[in-house]
């Protein structure tokens, strides 16, 4: 099902939210206002501190659980089943344990002589070595984990599926998705993520880490009154939590803040940046204190380099960047096709799909030693410089070609697994899978180039290489490949460079990293516009208003042939005769009628207030929630009153919205609820200007008034100018419906119905004019006219019914 259809979806009015916050601050002014402001600031920093600490702790626990589940596919620790391979074999490691659970795999492959405490599944079940049993156990445990994860998500928290980044971008843009950042979603996302990554699916935990961080920020801030009161303050905490989520995912606090600024947040003021930096810092310190890998590293794939690069390598670095861009563009296109197929055919079979993906992935990846391991561990090995034999003897010169072909196969397998798995109904990310794909290709290219240099050291290409020294470092190609692939699939540049620098501390590789990232971005944009998150936003119909660049022509946002740019507001607005509910200021409205309107009327968020329903001169705008609260405060609103046709106290009393109407006998003065200065535009205002008002100021509704007398002629909501969602079967992500086309069709149908009624009236007049005549010809003519008149009347009624059905459809959309 589409993630865009949430029960309580609505938009945040940032203008109204800011006005309410300012009114509250003015109400707090007094003798103790300075102390109140100091206390308010202290509470803010304490909340950020708590959120950061919880994000770091949650990430550490998930890392520990993921590592154990990954090792459980290979075997168990004798006498201490809760230990993973590394900790089980700690005392047998010389001199220090490996960086990951590969110790268990190597011990299993070698007969477990190096670590007798770690027992592979064949020895645990049969007491003897059996490669088929080892493979079957690997496949069965991985499939069981993925199936259990999909079941948990389906039954308890459907919103925990996927990455969560597209939805977070929509929420930070001012749209509310009920339950998406709740405590239950956080719990299921945390548990399910460890199981999904441990199962062997080609998914990562770095993208969902942002969603979990935002969940923690939301859950903590909801318990503080100042954040419940203000959506803008709530957005600050969620933005800071998103930055902390990226920071702990990559061990890069500065990169996390930049990623939140570059890719997630549509508004990022200095106060938000400062609190995001503090939250990322605390989260990173918390993760460092828990030390989940017992290596002192924040993530498994941290590395360091002490060798420099040569000028001739820039050509090969550029080739790595080209691969990253091609991979990113083609992966996005292929994954959107898979996602469209999944929505159309596999939505009812989410658990079966996850089980089948895990079964196929584990069955194939076990055969390749480079894909058997968890992707984080594999990435860590690929990024390490050669100091000895290396992981799986990949540093030995005689194994160069075996390594090249093995990594090439691993790259192809990971690409296929990532395209198929990303977006299935389990918690899943695409950052680390893409980095692992890029690192595999980069290491392969580096190993191939190193082999060529060893075979032909005197070639002019290698003239810069000093004799008897290491000239080519394959690990640096893996490092650059990881950066290129991540940038190619996310279309993020600056923060990727900073993240990779924080992972390695390789200052001398800043320039090559910038080169490959820029090439990957350019190549990727040539294949498809926007990153994977933007494409998922379009495909799933999520509400999101991105920034317009100077060279945007509108077709990219609104679909081919459906550009809004260049149109006036009059072509986009909802006209006043299109069932827009208004409230009269003069004379007021009976409380019973007002209660029926807010309870049983169209599901709108507010009502324009006009002087009277004949002149329609705009007086202001009032929010529906404010009217409900005011009626409830006067004890004049209940479900019985809303369903009643009149009578009682609510029928006798009048709700008035005018500034001088509150003294009428029996009146309820609601004029204080009216915003007398709503944002208005003229019918000829351009769509570009209106869209920028929505983006920069953030109102929920813009009212359209006439040029001369301020008469209300229509209104425009933020939903009316959103990029249109793509249907489930669309590959090119075009819109499934267009509200403006529907409104135009309604107008045409009503015009046709009116013409048909006029024709019926003329026919009836002609029939009546023949009433005083006699004869068979006259009788036949009258009968024919009556038949045609009745048929036209029936057609007019059907046309009106179609127009009403389309109008109801438009309301539901």
The CA distance from 553 to 564, in Å, is 9
Q: Is there a contact between 195 and 148 (Cβ–Cβ < 8 Å)? A: yes
pLDDT of residue 562 exceeding 90, the answer is: no
Which pLDDT does position 731 carry in this prediction?
A: 36
Per the model's pLDDT, the better-predicted residue between 740 and 282 turns out to be 282
Q: 277 with 209, same domain?
A: yes
Is 620 found in the same domain as 483?
no
Choose the weakest-confidence range: 43-52, 511-520, 645-654: 645-654
Mean pLDDT of the chain: 83
Token pair of 332, please?
A: 């996005």
Rounded CA separation 451/6 (Å)? 56
- Considering the domain architecture, whether residues 599 and 748 belong to the same structural domain is answered as no
Residue 626 has pLDDT above 70, yes or no: yes
Q: Give mean pLDDT, residues 467-479.
A: 90
CB-neighbour burial class of residue 694 (10 A; exposed 0-12, middle 13-18, buried 19+) = buried
Q: Is residue 690 part of a domain?
A: yes
The β-bridge partners of 609 are: 583, 620
**Domain final residue, candidates 721, 751, 777:** 721
pLDDT-derived band at 727, boundaries 50, 70, 90: very low
562: exposed, middle or buried (C-beta count within 10 Å: 0-12, 13-18, 19+)?
middle
User: Which residue shows structure tokens 């719990």?
Assistant: 187
Q: 222 vs 29, which has greater pLDDT?
A: 222
Q: Which of 276, 89, 91, 39 is nearest to 172 (CA)?
A: 276
Choose from 255-264, 566-575, 740-749 the range with maximum mean pLDDT: 255-264
Give CA–CA dist 764/444, Å, rounded. 86
Q: Evaluate if residue 742 carries a pLDDT over 70.
A: no
The counts of H helices and E strands in the chain are 31, 14
Predicted confidence at residue 590, as pLDDT, reads 80
Of 137, 162, 178, at which residue does a domain stop? 137
- The pLDDT score that the predictor gives to residue 181 is 93
Task: Specify the pLDDT at position 273.
Answer: 92
Residue range 430-453: average pLDDT? Answer: 95
User: Mind spelling out the 3-state secondary structure of 59-116?
Assistant: HHHHHHHHHHHHHHCCEEECCCCCCCHHHHCHHHCCCCCCCCCHHHHHHHHCCCCCCC
CATH number at residue 806: 1.10.287
> DSSP letter at 268?
-
pLDDT band at 808 (very low <50, low <70, confident <90, very high): low
- Confidence grade of residue 306 (pLDDT, cut at 50, 70, 90): confident
Residue 674 lies in a domain: yes
- For 674-708, the pLDDT digits (tens) are 888 899 999 999 888 888 888 888 888 999 999 87
Domain membership flag for residue 564: no
Q: Where are the alpha helices (DSSP H) in 298-399?
A: 314-341, 350-365, 369-372, 375-382
Q: How far is the CA of 26 from the CAs of 9, 29, 36, 153, in angstroms?
A: 31, 5, 12, 45
What 506-509 contacts at long range (C-beta under 8 Å, 24+ apart), as own/partner pairs, is: 506/304, 506/305, 506/476, 506/479, 508/305, 508/308, 508/309, 509/305, 509/309, 509/476, 509/479, 509/480
Shared-domain flag, residues 316 and 420: yes
What's the domain range around 610?
569-721
Comparing 490 with 388, the larger pLDDT belongs to: 490
Say whether both 429 and 478 belong to one domain: yes
The residue with greater pLDDT, 265 or 705, is: 705
> Is the pLDDT at 635 greater than 90, yes or no?
no
Residue of 292, 187, 206, 218 whose CA lies nearest to 248: 206
The answer on 459 and 323 residing in a single domain is yes
Q: Which of 305-309, 384-388, 485-489, 727-731 bottoms out in mean pLDDT, i.e. has the lowest?
A: 727-731
Q: Is residue 527 part of a domain?
A: yes
pLDDT at residue 31, as a whole number: 66
- pLDDT for residue 527: 94
- Is the predicted pLDDT of residue 753 greater than 80, yes or no? no
Residue 12's pLDDT band (boundaries 50, 70, 90)?
A: confident
pLDDT at 105 over 70: no
State the CATH number of the domain containing residue 675. Answer: 3.10.580.10
Looking at residue 582, what is its pLDDT? 85
Residue 101, φ and ψ in degrees, nearest 5: -80, 10
Q: Is residue 733 part of a domain?
A: no
Tokens of 287: 């993760």
Which of 176, 166, 255, 171 minimizes the C-alpha distance to 207? 166
The answer as to whether 225 is a domain residue is yes
Give 437 or 759, the one with higher predicted confidence: 437
What percentage of the chain carries pLDDT values higher than 70? 85
- Gap between the Cα atoms of 500 and 383, Å rounded: 11
Model pLDDT, residue 98: 42
pLDDT of the residue at 549 = 55
CB contact at 8 A, 477 and 321: no
Instruction: State how far the Cα of 76 lies from the Cα of 536, in Å rounded to an integer.
Output: 39
Q: What are 792's two structure tokens?
A: 């036209």
Task: Tell me, yes or no, whether 505 and 601 share the same domain.
Answer: no
Taking Cα atoms as reference points, which of 728, 730, 740 lies closest to residue 563? Answer: 740
Q: How many domains does the chain have?
A: 5
In angstroms, the CA 441 to CA 412 distance is: 9
Query: Which range, of 266-275, 276-285, 785-794, averages the lowest pLDDT?
Result: 785-794
Question: Does residue 571 carry a pLDDT above 90?
Answer: no
Q: Are residues 525 and 465 in the same domain?
A: yes
Helix 510-527 / helix 314-341 crossing angle, nearest 10 deg: 40
Indicate whether 149 and 269 sit together in one domain.
yes
Could you tell me if residue 223 is inside a domain?
Answer: yes
Average pLDDT over residues 378-405: 89
Same domain, 155 and 52: yes
Residues 6+ apart with CB under 8 A from 458: none
> Are 417 and 487 members of one domain?
yes
Q: Which residues pair with 231 in a beta bridge?
A: none
Distance separating alpha carbons of residues 542 and 722, to the nearest angstrom: 9
Dist CA 252 CA 299 (whole Å): 10
Q: Is the pLDDT of residue 228 over 60?
A: yes
13-68 residue pLDDT tens:
778 877 777 777 777 777 677 787 888 889 999 999 999 999 999 999 999 999 99
Token pair, residue 774, equals: 């006699």
Tokens representing 476 are 């640096």
CATH classification at residue 151:
1.10.3080.10
Report the distance separating Cα 485 and Cα 156, nearest Å. Answer: 34
Sorting pLDDT into bands at 50, 70 and 90, what band is 6? very low
First-to-final CA distance of the chain: 16
Are 716 and 701 in contact by the 8 Å Cβ rule? The answer is: yes
Rg (CA), the chain: 33
- Show the DSSP H helices in 634-686 as ranges: 639-643, 648-652
Residue 420 in this model has a pLDDT that exceeds 80: yes
**Does residue 585 sit in the same domain as residue 699?**
yes
User: Three-state DSSP class for 236?
Assistant: helix
Tokens standing for residue 64: 């520990």
Q: Rounded to two decimals, what is the model's pTM?
A: 0.80
Task: Report, in this order, helix, strand and coil percent for the chain, each rounded to 5.
Answer: 60, 5, 30
Token digits of residue 183: 């405590």
Q: Is residue 248 part of a domain?
A: yes
pLDDT tens string 83-93 = 888 888 876 55
pLDDT (tens digit per residue) in 111-137: 445 688 899 999 989 988 899 999 999
In this prediction, residue 498 has a pLDDT band, given cuts at 50, 70 and 90, of very high
Q: Residue 312: how many CB atoms within 10 A of its CB?
A: 15
456 in Cβ contact with 392 (< 8 Å): no
Asked if the model's pLDDT at residue 437 lies above 90, the reply is: yes
């Amino acid at each position: 099902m589409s993630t865009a259809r949430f029960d309580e979806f609505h938009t945040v009015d940032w203008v109204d939210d800011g006005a309410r916050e300012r009114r509250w601050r003015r109400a707090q002014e007094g003798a103790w206002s300075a102390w109140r402001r100091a206390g308010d600031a202290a509470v803010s920093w304490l909340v950020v501190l708590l959120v950061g600490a919880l994000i770091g702790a949650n990430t550490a626990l998930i890392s520990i659980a993921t590592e154990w589940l990954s090792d459980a596919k290979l075997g168990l620790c004798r006498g201490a089943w809760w230990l993973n391979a590394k900790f089980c074999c700690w005392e047998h490691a010389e001199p220090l344990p490996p960086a990951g659970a590969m110790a268990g795999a190597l011990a299993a492959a070698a007969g477990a002589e190096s670590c007798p405490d770690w027992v592979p599944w064949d020895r645990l079940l049969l007491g003897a070595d059996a490669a088929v049993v080892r493979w079957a156990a690997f496949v069965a445990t991985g499939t069981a984990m993925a199936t259990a994860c999909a079941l948990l998500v389906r039954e308890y928290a459907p919103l925990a599926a996927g990455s969560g980044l597209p939805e977070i971008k929509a929420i930070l843009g001012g749209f509310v998705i009920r339950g998406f950042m709740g405590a239950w979603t956080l719990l299921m996302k945390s548990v399910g993520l460890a199981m999904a990554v441990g199962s062997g699916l080609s998914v990562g935990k770095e993208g969902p880490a942002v969603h979990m961080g935002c969940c923690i920020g939301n859950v903590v801030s909801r318990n503080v009154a100042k954040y419940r009161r203000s959506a803008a303050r709530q957005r600050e905490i969620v933005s800071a939590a998103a930055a902390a989520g990226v920071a702990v995912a990559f061990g890069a606090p500065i990169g996390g803040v930049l990623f939140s600024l570059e890719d997630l947040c549509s508004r990022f003021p200095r106060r938000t940046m400062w609190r995001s930096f503090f939250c990322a810092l605390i989260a990173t310190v918390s993760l460092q204190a828990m030390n989940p890998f017992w290596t002192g590293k924040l993530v498994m794939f941290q590395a360091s380099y002490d060798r420099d690069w040569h000028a001739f390598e820039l050509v090969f670095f550029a080739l790595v960047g080209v691969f990253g861009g091609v991979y990113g563009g083609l992966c996005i296109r292929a994954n959107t096709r898979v996602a469209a197929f999944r929505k159309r055919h596999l939505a009812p079979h989410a658990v079966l799909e996850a089980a089948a993906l895990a079964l196929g992935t584990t069955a194939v990846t076990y055969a390749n030693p480079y894909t058997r391991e968890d992707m984080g561990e594999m990435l860590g090995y690929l990024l390490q410089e050669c100091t000895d034999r290396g992981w799986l003897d990949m540093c030995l010169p005689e194994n160069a070609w075996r390594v090249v072909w093995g990594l090439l196969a691993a790259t192809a397998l990971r690409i296929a697994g990532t395209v198929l798995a990303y977006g299935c109904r389990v918690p899943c990310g695409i950052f680390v899978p893409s980095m692992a794909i890029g690192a595999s290709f980069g290491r392969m290219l580096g190993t191939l180039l190193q082999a060529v240099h060893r075979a032909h050291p005197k070639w002019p290409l290698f003239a810069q290489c000093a004799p008897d020294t290491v000239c080519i470092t394959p690990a640096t190609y893996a490092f650059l490949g990881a950066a290129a692939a991540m940038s190619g699939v996310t279309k993020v540049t600056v923060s990727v460079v900073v993240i990779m620098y924080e992972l390695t501390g390789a200052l001398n590789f800043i320039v090559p990293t910038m080169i490959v990232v820029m090439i990957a971005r350019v190549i990727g944009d040539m294949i498809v516009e926007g990153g994977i998150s933007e494409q998922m936003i379009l495909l799933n119909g999520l509400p999101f208003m991105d920034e317009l660049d100077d060279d945007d022509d509108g077709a990219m946002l609104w679909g081919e042939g459906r550009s809004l740019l260049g149109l006036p507001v009059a072509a986009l607005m909802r006209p006043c005769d299109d069932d827009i509910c208004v409230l009269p200021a003069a004379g007021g409205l009976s409380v019973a009628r007002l209660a029926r309107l807010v309870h049983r009327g169209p599901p709108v968020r507010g009502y324009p207030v006009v002087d009277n329903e004949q002149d329609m001169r705009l007086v202001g705008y009032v929010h529906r929630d404010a009217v409900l609260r005011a009626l409830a405060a006067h004890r004049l609103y209940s479900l019985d009153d809303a369903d009643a046709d009149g009578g009682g106290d609510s029928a006798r009393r009048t709700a008035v919205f005018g500034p001088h109407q509150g003294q009428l006998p029996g009146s309820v003065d609601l004029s204080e609820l009216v915003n007398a200065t709503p944002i208005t535009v003229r019918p000829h205002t351009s769509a570009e200007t209106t869209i920028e008002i929505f983006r920069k100021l953030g109102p929920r509704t813009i009212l359209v008034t006439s040029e001369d007398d301020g008469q209300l002629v229509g209104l425009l909501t933020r939903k009316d100018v959103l990029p249109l969602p793509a249907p489930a079967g669309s590959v090119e992500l075009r819109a499934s419906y267009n509200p403006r086309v529907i409104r135009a069709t309604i107008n045409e149908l009503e015009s046709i119905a009116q013409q048909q009624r006029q024709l019926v009236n003329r026919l009836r007049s002609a029939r009546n004019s023949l009433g005083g005549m006699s004869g068979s010809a006259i009788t036949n003519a009258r009968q024919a006219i009556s038949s045609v008149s009745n048929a036209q009347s029936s057609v007019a009624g059907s046309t009106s019914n179609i127009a009403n059905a389309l109008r109801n459809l438009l309301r539901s959309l």
